[in-house]
Structure 1
Amino acid sequence: MSSSATDDNVSDNPPEGYVPSTTRGPYTTHNGPFYHKVTEDGFWHGVRIRQRHCNSRGITHGGMLMAFADGLLGTAVFRETKTVALTIRMNSDFLSSARPGDWLEGTARVTKATRSVVFCEAELFVGQRPVMKATGVFKLMSRHKGLDASEPAAS
């Protein structure tokens, strides 16, 4: 299914507390627009699903969900370590689908960190319904330690 003219006219209408993410890389920016918020318990990323995010069956493409989860995992690693990291491995469990118009949001957390490798997990939701769970292993790039990121969404 290709993007329609109305796809770009969709109002994102993010939930309260979300602000636009503006420091993402070109690939992620192209897939957005994305939003984020920071709470006492951590951080959240969100996106309003559009037709261009979907496969030929009208549900969010698994690759889109995986890219979104990878950004969540990378953000969790950076927030915990203040170090840029590269994805070594990511495992995904698809639990349900998201459709155009749905607000997809997710969060992630580090489960273990060593001097060179970090393990983490992410959860994606539409409302209270789980859409995907992911785990990841990231390699810390020590030469990038301490880089300043103006947003929690630096992926």
Structure 2
Amino acid sequence: MSTTQTAGFSPFPNQGPFLEHVGPILIREDGDELVLAIQTEERHANHRGTVQGGLLSTFADFALGRAIEADADDGKDRATVSLTVDFLKPAKPGDWIESRTKVDRVGGTLSFADCSLCVGDKEIVRARAVWVVAG
């Protein structure tokens, strides 16, 4: 991991025990854009030596939720209803992966957003989620 990659990033606060176990997830605010990142390691690899799809799905789900939460700015709890993940290219242990999210709509009940996970300028995952106001 280079200093250039980590510049401006800090650990995401209160990410919860599961993400602390697989992460840490890092955050950088880039103007209006919230950028999250994870430094992959050997422990994230599957039997083929590439990063496990479940980790990438988890990271995309977390990034989508944080983007919706930031866009809504209403303090309401939300939960994933639907998550669609397309794996475009494999990631390898040692890759620095960043998320880029776009919130399409935050409604009173449902919210919709898209996410790309990238290694450098190469998109490796594309995800879309629907979230619901919980409770």
TM-score normalised according to structure 1 size: 0.80
Matched, 1:79 2:44: no
In the alignment, the residues of structure 2 paired with residue 107 and residue 129 of structure 1 have an alpha-carbon distance, to the nearest angstrom, of 12
Would you say the 8 A contact 1:107–1:123 is kept in 2? yes
Partner of 1:3: none
Matched, 1:56 2:47: yes
Deviations 1:93-131 (CA, angstroms, capped at 9, x unpaired): 111111111101112121012210001110100000001
Q: Which has the higher strand share?
A: 2
Q: How does 1:1-155 map to 2 (within 5 A)?
A: 14-82=5-73, 83-141=76-134
Residue-pair matches, total: 132
Unaligned runs of 5+ in 2: none
> Measured at CA, do residues 12 and 56 of structure 1 come closer, stay the same or move farther in structure 2, by a change above 3 Å?
farther
TM-score normalised according to structure 2 size: 0.91
> Measured at CA, do residues 29 and 12 of structure 1 come closer, stay the same or move farther in structure 2, by a change above 3 Å?
farther
In structure 2, give the amino acid aligned to 1:120. Answer: A
In the alignment, the residues of structure 2 paired with residue 133 and residue 60 of structure 1 have an alpha-carbon distance, to the nearest angstrom, of 15
Percent identity over paired residues = 30
In the alignment, the residues of structure 1 paired with residue 36 and residue 122 of structure 2 have an alpha-carbon distance, to the nearest angstrom, of 16
Query: Higher Cα Rg: structure 1 or 2?
Result: 1
CA root-mean-square deviation: 1.5
In structure 1, give the amino acid aligned to 2:24. Answer: P
